[in-house]
């Protein structure tokens, strides 16, 4: 733990522990480290085998250039499906890059 401006911040070196601590009954995953060539179809295809996806898969693009910013989001119908996808896909290769999967924070 670390105190910053009177607030306590929990530090986790393990991405699994950090992600599990940060989530709040979440079925939405953050996917980082995407190839700039990865589109929403490829992201959906990689994750849909773990459960039904209820929200459009989004790869976030730069507002001016339209090019991928290297991250996106996937929301499942259930937390259980998101858990399986998290465990199976974290650090896996997608389009030539090892991706980082975490539970999305509430403000996303």
Residue 102's pLDDT band (cuts 50, 70, 90): very high
Would you say residue 98 lies in a domain? yes
Would you say residue 31 lies in a domain? yes
Would you say residue 62 lies in a domain? yes
Read off the pTM. 0.74
Would you say residue 18 lies in a domain? no
7-56 per-position pLDDT tens digit:
555 554 555 545 444 444 589 999 999 999 999 999 999 999 999 999 77
CATH of the domain at 40: 3.30.70.330
Residue 3: CB partners within 8 Å, gap ≥ 6? Answer: 9
Residue 30 burial class via C-beta count within 10 angstroms: exposed 0-12, middle 13-18, buried 19 and up: buried
Domain count within the chain = 1
- Rounded distance between C-alpha atoms, residue 105 and residue 39, angstroms: 22
Would you say residue 54 lies in a domain? yes
Q: What is the span of the domain harbouring residue 40?
A: 25-103
48-96 per-position pLDDT tens digit:
999 999 977 999 999 998 889 999 999 999 999 999 999 999 999 999 9
Q: Residue 100 forms beta bridges with which residues?
A: 32
Quick one: tokens of 84?
Answer: 């399986």
């Amino acid at each position: 733990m670390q105190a910053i401006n009177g607030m306590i911040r929990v530090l986790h070196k393990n991405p699994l522990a950090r992600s599990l601590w940060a989530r709040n009954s979440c079925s939405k995953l953050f996917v980082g480290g995407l190839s700039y060539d990865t589109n929403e179809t490829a992201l959906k295809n990689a994750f849909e085998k773990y459960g039904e996806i209820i929200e459009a898969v989004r790869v976030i693009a730069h507002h001016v250039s339209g090019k991928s910013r290297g991250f996106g989001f996937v929301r499942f119908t259930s937390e259980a499906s998101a858990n399986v996808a998290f465990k199976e896909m974290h650090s896996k290769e997608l389009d030539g890059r090892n991706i980082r999967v975490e539970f999305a924070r509430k403000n996303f």
